[in-house]
Amino acid sequence: MKIAVLPGDGIGTEIVAEAVKVLNVLELPLELEEAVVGGAAYEAKGHPLPDSTLQLAKDADAVLFGAVGDWKYDKLERALRPEQAILGLRKHLGLFANLRPALCYEQLTHASSLKPELVAGLDILIIRELTGDIYFGQPRGRRTAVDGHFPGAEEAFDTMRYSRPEIERIAHVAFQAARRRSKKVTSVDKANVLETFQFWKDIVTEVHAQYPDVELEHMYVDNAAMQLVKAPKKFDVVVTGNMFGDILSDEAAMLTGSIGMLPSASLDANNKGLYEPSHGSAPDIAGKGVANPLATILSAAMMLRYTLAQPEAADRIESAVRAVLAAGLRTPDIYSDGTRKVGTREMGDAVVAAITGKT
């Protein structure tokens, strides 16, 4: 099983190093190969996603990605900015399903912005479609308005758009994920206002006929935004379009307290995928050895579960993470009174020790 390891920028290198340590103690036939990406790749090779890095990612079974970006690249032209690397990888690898679990660990309920009883035991999975919607629809641009409220005025426009196959394949991902969980899917739309999302709702309903064992509910996005903070535990799998998913996944992330704990997966049609923490390169704390590596370590667990078909190994990592939290170890982002503050490396070492049984 070949894994492309792309640490990237900022804390990316620090947190990916810990995930690699964890993968290496599992005693699995994993072949890890590292390459530059993002700002680091721009410095070394003049492009945020060099051909050699892209080829490595294409040849691999899965990609373990850190994070890219730094303020110092803000003045570069858009095509050379670090963030283009992740967009390029999504495009060239055909990644269309973004899976973001929001899981609230028992010991961290205090870190949530909600009351502990609302989030204790929270375990939901947001599935965001990545290739369509208003983010990519054409035409888009600026022009002089010929109609509307202000004819003759300068205006800007985008196009919301989804094709049948795009909706069908993401619906299948959601129903299949629900089968491994509590068997409930909430499809989030705005069918009352948008034709695109009436189409979405119709097609998700059609696909549901193939999954009679899974419960399907439809919810308007404004109500979903409310329910996520009112009663988040009512959800299991949430599936939605690119823009609503962008917003709702960040909202769900905050229910759990720290972005340093949240993994993510982006899958293609064959369950190959790219795995990365939900957070960015955190230039404000880069190089200080204080970043929380658990989101990346948990991303490696998702990789074992979804792409490499090693659910037992994934379980071992996830149990080890629970064990170190139960033992009171905390990086600064999740620290509270009465726990033990540790750095990035010490946290990674503790997860390794919990897996190997050596403490």
Q: Which residues make up the interface to ligand NAI (CB under 6 A)?
A: 11, 15, 67-70, 83, 86, 259-260, 276, 279-285, 291-292, 295, 333
250 is in an annotated binding site: yes
Q: Which does 70 bind (CB under 5 to 8 A by kind): ligand NAI, Mg ion, none?
A: ligand NAI
Give CA–CA dist 45/27, Å, rounded: 34
Find the catalytic residue in 135, 335, 341, 349.
135
Active site includes 123? Answer: no
128 labelled binding-site residue: yes
Least distance (Å) from ligand NAI to the CB of residue 295?
6
Under a CB-based contact definition with an 8 Å cutoff, are residues 197 and 220 in contact? no
Q: Residue 135 catalytic?
A: yes
Please identify, using beta-carbon distances, which residue of 167 and 285 lies nearer to ligand NAI.
285
Paired with 103 in beta bridges are 123
**Shortest gap between Cβ of 26 and ligand NAI (angstroms)?**
22
Please, what is the angle between helix 195-208 and helix 164-179, to 10°? 50
Mutual angle of helices 344-356 and 311-326, in 10-degree steps: 120
- Assess whether 222 carries a catalytic annotation: yes
Least separation in angstroms between residue 192's CB and Mg ion is 25
Residue type, 288: K
CB-nearer residue toward ligand NAI: 187 or 249 = 249
* 349 marked as part of a ligand binding site: no
Return the number of the residue (158 or 246) whose C-beta is nearest Mg ion.
246
Which burial class, exposed, middle or buried, applies to 76 when counting CB atoms under 10 A from its CB (0-12, 13-18, 19+)? middle
Size of the site for Mg ion (CB under 5 A): 1
Q: Please give the C-alpha separations between residue 268 and each of 99, 150, 307, in angstroms, as whole numbers.
A: 11, 43, 10
Q: How many CA atoms lie within 13 A of 112 on its CB side?
A: 25
Residue 292 annotated as binding? yes
User: Alpha-carbon distance 313 to 53, whole Å?
Assistant: 27
91 is catalytic: no
Residues 6+ apart with CB under 8 A from 15: 66, 67, 277, 291, 292, 293, 295, 296, 344
Interaction mask 218-257, Mg ion, x per CB under 5 A: ----------------------------x-----------
CB of 219 to Mg ion, least distance (A): 20
CB 131 within 8 A of CB 97: no
Rounded to a whole number of angstroms, the minimum distance from the CB of residue 280 to Mg ion is 9
284 binds, among ligand NAI, Mg ion, none (CB under 5 to 8 A by kind): ligand NAI
Query: Looking at residue 109, what DSSP letter applies?
Result: G
Q: Note if 250 is an active site residue.
A: yes
**Footprint on this chain of Mg ion (rule: CB under 5 A):** 246
User: Which residues does the annotation mark as catalytic?
Assistant: 135, 190, 222, 246, 250
- Binding site residue list: 90, 100, 128, 222, 246, 250, 280-292
